[in-house]
Chains A and B, each alone.
Chain A
């Protein structure tokens, strides 16, 4: 009998606080397999402006504040990192120059993302490298390709990358794919539906037994209830219904839905739509989306026990 406890989380968006919690889950939940299913990079840069009088000013969480000593400066940097954002220390003129040049700003963003990914990989290796735990980390559609060269580890038990097939135990294989269908934001790993299907088909062809496998695909299956988000207009604002409520719409991937129907893995692990936390069943496949509340420092996840080619049980967590 092969029974394995998996902890799956997703969409941490740069939150170091959540990532550290993720690394602590083997001790808390007894998980032997840890999966981080994409969208690991943050979404914003918070400038910390150096003033001539040796103070700093920063606007964070809607509050402008002046920082007068280096201890407080470190505290605010930690809080920014914990929330998933990046901080950048600069004097006023440097920041103004950066802010007026989109290319420079994009380059800075990539640089900061790379630094955080490096920092996370180092943390992961220090804490879990060589241990009796397998860790799988995939980028998601929001994550730029510029981080991919960093996604390697010197430990066999830490698997990083997009488009991976790997054994989690002697009965179950994992397909790890960090893509999405086309989004209004034209994110780096947004693909056409047929391209997604082709990638899944190619990964499945590398598997020994897809029937006992687990798919960790960032985008949820279309119309599954795990993919419901506000419908957006051309200005990316929510479309409101007659009562003023946002009109909700399914925005998952048809290719993922068809792939799950076709291959019937035992488990589908998804993210992408933070507010669509839930579970559903497609044929014999149980699909789960734990949602995300990374900005609050809350690690939303789901524990799953798989046993001899079936899902024995699952339990949503928030810690």
Chain B
């Protein structure tokens, strides 16, 4: 039974379901968990992290389905910007989207630093550890210096600008290559852990580190670090695991470019959440089995407190650095660290892809000047928005490297989860405030449980979950300290967003067509 098509032209959508799930997983960055493991074990002493990956699936799946259903109901680029604007108010949609864009811009500026400090430089220092070649330590120091990072950052951002001009398919292919390197690093890490084990680690640690395994545990316990796992603390330690999942919904923002959007978003949004959580569980489990979670926490604790007993050539004993205490194989050491090194670059590229589209969408909606929606006549790339982002990224990078301004943006995670909070709120009221769109949505969106729309029920649960996550990001435990001044600065982005929208709205109302018209939904009956 064939469909009879007639020859005509048509729109080419470039992102497949497999690229969509890769995109979300790349935005989340599995290897980031190496960093979060050490940080969590300092801030939540005695947490048993493998369990938190299971909790993360349970907590994340509801917001994931909220985003999936909303994406199916309004399958357009812009994600929550589109549906919050239509369901609650355009000003709120813009405010939330601006805040998310700001948070991602901050992260973009930091990415080259993470790559160099925790990916490339450690290749030299871990090789120094196994080869005894002390000149490699100097090389590591040079690679992690602010000047090197800035040069690499400039090259990175210029390359991204070039890639953007090559179109979506080239960008997706680049993502795939970097994603493969990133995952190869994790796979190598797991293979090394699986083929060595806890005893090998203890022996080589004692032999190479200038420290003693038992001594580390003893000193840390004397300083108050626990000697066993604590299940209560484990519950709260989910925060960093959940932070590692930030990005599972990012394809919602590029929905207009995805082929067969209903199927692809199901694979991409809940699918990426589940896939990354399972991968995280495996990495956590292997790490805790081979290094021992309590030992890792104790070691990180000594590093964080600057204790003289800590003698490793790294500021923090991230698990991928410790690979040198399991193998001498330079290929394995390079692959694991390189896998980490590409992860921030890749994540940053996914953020840039998204942020440019947000700015483009605001300009198209005339909330900001129309010049930012200009596209190159040959490549269709939004070059004005791209130039703006590259300039902003370079400024943010310089601020991170040479100033302490970034202390003020401690709460970007809070901002990111506030975006989900508002999206959840929109989901709750969706069937009641926009009955027209709800009734015209696909069957899966219109499902009811006990007479109540499923999307509203999921919205309520998602709202509760994100409220907890937001609360947790504001606790002193999360950031080491609760800084009300910094929190105030961070939250300023929300009223700034509202102010920009209302100024634009007033201006447009006076000079032309009201902005709100572009957010109107038209009934299909």
A and B associate in one complex: yes
**Nearest CB on A from B378, distance (A):** 6
Which chain B positions have C-beta within 8 A of A205?
none
- Chain A contact residues, majority secondary structure: mixed
**How many residues on A have C-beta within 8 angstroms of the other chain's C-beta atoms?**
76
How big is chain B's contact interface, by range? 35 or more
In the complex, A249 has a CB within 8 A of chain B: yes
Instruction: Mark contacts of B3-36 with chain A using CB atoms, 8 A cut-off: 1 yes-contact digit, 0 otherwise.
Output: 1111111111000000000000000000000000
Name which residue of chain B comes closest to A59, CB basis: B1
Q: B196 in the interface, Cβ–Cβ < 8 Å?
A: no
> Could you say which of B76, B370, B513 contacts A318, with CB atoms under 8 Å apart?
B76
Residues of B near A269 (CB, < 8 A) are none
Complex interface: chain A residues within 8 A of B435 (CB): none
Q: A46 — which chain B residues lie within 8 A by C-beta?
A: 3
The answer to whether A57 touches B1, judged by C-beta atoms less than 8 angstroms apart, is yes
| Known contacts A246-B12, A312-B512, A319-B522, A95 near B1 by CB under 8 Å | yes
The answer on a CB contact under 8 Å between A185 and B256 is no
Q: Is the CB of A43 within 8 A of B6?
A: yes
Cβ-closest chain B residue relative to A318: B76
Decide if A305 touches B512 in the complex (CB within 8 Å). Answer: yes
**Known contacts A245-B168, A312-B512; is A45 also within 8 Å of B8 by CB?**
no
Contact with A along B352-376 (1 / 0, CB 8 A): 0000000000001110001001011
Q: Given A28-B520, A245-B170, A305-B513, is A45 in contact with B3 using a C-beta cutoff of 8 Å?
A: yes
> Which of A30, A248, A249, A295 has the most chain B CB atoms inside 10 A of its CB?
A248
Which A residues are CB-close (under 8 A) to B520?
28-29, 317, 319
A248 to B169, CA, bound (A): 12
Q: Which residues of A contact B366 (CB under 8 A)?
A: 315
Q: Please judge, given known A-B contacts A142-B8, A299-B522, whether A228 and B261 are in contact too, CB under 8 Å.
A: no
Q: Which residue of B lies closest to A86 (CB)?
A: B4
Residue of A95, A109, A249, A274 near B11 (CB, 8 A) is A274
Task: Kindly state whether residue B328 has any CB partner on chain A within 8 Å.
Answer: no
Give the Cβ gap from B254 to chain A, nearest Cβ, in Å.
14
- Do A316 and B8 have beta carbons less than 8 Å apart? no
Q: Are A314 and B12 in contact (CB under 8 A)?
A: no
A29 to B256, CA, bound (A): 23
Q: Are B6 and A276 in contact (CB under 8 A)?
A: no
Interface status of A82 (Cβ within 8 A of chain B):
yes
Residue in B8, B370, B378, B525 whose CB lies within 8 Å of A248: B378
Select from chain B the residue with minimum beta-carbon distance to A276.
B380
Given known A299-B522, A315-B366, contact A244–B378 (CB-CB < 8 A) = no
Chain A nearest CB, measured from B119 CB (Å): 25
Contact pick for A315, options B5, B9, B261, B513, CB 8 Å: B513
Given A29-B517, A82-B524, A95-B1, A296-B75 contact (CB < 8 Å): yes
Q: Is A234 an interface residue (CB 8 A)?
A: no
Contact check, B6 vs A44: say whether CB atoms are below 8 A apart.
yes
Please encode chain A, from 292 to 307, with 1 for each CB lying within 8 Å of some chain B CB and 0 for all others: 1101111100010100
A19-27, A149-157, A159-167, A254-262: which lies at the interface: A19-27
B377 contacts partner chain A, Cβ-Cβ < 8 Å: yes
Q: Is A250 an interface residue (CB 8 A)?
A: yes
13 chain-A/chain-B pairs, Cβ below 8 angstroms: A13-B8, A20-B523, A21-B522, A21-B523, A44-B3, A44-B4, A142-B8, A185-B7, A244-B170, A246-B12, A293-B11, A303-B518, A312-B512
Interface residues of A (CB under 8 A from B): 5, 13, 17-18, 20-21, 24-25, 28-30, 43-47, 49, 57-59, 61-62, 64, 82, 85, 95, 99, 105, 109, 142, 183, 185-187, 223-225, 228-230, 236, 238, 240-241, 243-246, 248-250, 272-276, 278-279, 291-293, 295-299, 303, 305, 312-319
Chain B interfacial positions (CB closer than 8 Å to A): 1-12, 75-76, 166-170, 173, 256, 260-261, 263, 364-366, 370, 373, 375-380, 440, 508, 511-513, 515, 517-518, 520-525
A296-B75, A315-B518 are known; give 12 further A-B pairs, CB within 8 A.
A29-B517, A43-B10, A99-B4, A228-B378, A243-B166, A245-B169, A249-B378, A298-B76, A313-B508, A317-B517, A319-B520, A319-B522
8 closest Cβ pairs, A-B complex: A313-B512, A225-B377, A319-B522, A243-B170, A245-B167, A245-B170, A274-B11, A21-B522
